[in-house]
Amino acid sequence: MAHVKLHIPGPVEVSAKTFQAMTQPMIGHRGQGFKDLYGRIQPQLQSMLSTQQRIYLSTSSAWGVMEGALTNLCTKKVLNCMCGAFSDKWFDVAKKLGKDAEALQVPWGSPIRAEQIDARLATGQFDALTLIHNETSTGTMSPLDEIAALKKKYPDVMFIVDAVSSLTAFRTASTTWASTSSSPAPRKPSPYPPASPSSSHPRPRSPRPPPSRPVATTSTSSSSRRTRSRT
């Protein structure tokens, strides 16, 4: 098949060097070879994502990463910041999970402003929020540094940031955040084949009752098909 060079938001053009690296023989994901590989790539991923926290890889589509983040980080109510097709999906996932979710909706093409989030978090109703840094469907970027600054004011709120088309392309405030954050799948600007890495900034949380449904978790692999739901 002829090589059609991609000029779309995703999937993205992948270099011949990356493809060559992927032609090496498979290794067992439970063996020492995989443990060694995962250990070697951790510091490189941390450098690429500008964080000292552990990096997790998910084998799921984007929907699985979204479900895992909301299932594990939201116990009370989530504020879904919505400014385009993909940020709207976070609200959809939250409702399908049975979460108490509220939409902070702005017109497509408009960014989410820190003062809008501040006004809603001030109510004390929320323990999580979702935000897309750069909304792929409209090309609109929200001011993440200003929004991240709210972490100091609301330390008990989990900030879940989807940086699919911005992380590694733009410097973010993730290293300055005081608490938990999640940045799923920065593969579009990287560029590499579909996969779903995320970084986590952990903090202690008070014990909570066991969930009524299995808790979604991420696993370590590089065979994700993120294009299934996000491109």
Query: Which parts of 123-226 fold into alpha helices (H)?
Result: 144-148
What is the pLDDT at residue 101?
A: 98
In the sheet that holds 181-182, the strands lie side by side as 101-105, 78-82, 128-132, 158-162, 181-182
Segment 190-221, tens digit of pLDDT? 555 655 455 555 444 444 444 444 333 333 33
- pLDDT over 90 percentage in the chain: 42
Across all residues in the chain, what is the average pLDDT? 78
What is the rounded average pLDDT of the residues 34-57? 84
Segment 83-121, tens digit of pLDDT? 999 999 999 999 999 999 999 999 999 999 999 999 999
Provide the residue count of the chain: 231
Tell whether the model's pLDDT for residue 226 goes beyond 90. no
Element (H, E) at 57: strand 55-58
Reference 88, options 72, 73, 66; nearest CA is 66
Segment 62-85, tens digit of pLDDT? 888 899 999 999 999 999 999 999
The domains of the chain, with CATH numbers, are: 57-230 (3.40.640.10)
Segment 158-173, tens digit of pLDDT? 999 988 777 766 665 5
Listed in sequence order, the residues at least 6 apart from 208 whose beta carbon sits closer than 8 Å to its beta carbon are 75
Element (H, E) at 109: none
What is the pLDDT at residue 16?
A: 85
Listed in sequence order, the residues at least 6 apart from 68 whose beta carbon sits closer than 8 Å to its beta carbon are 58, 60, 216, 217, 218
Token couple for 142: 């929200």
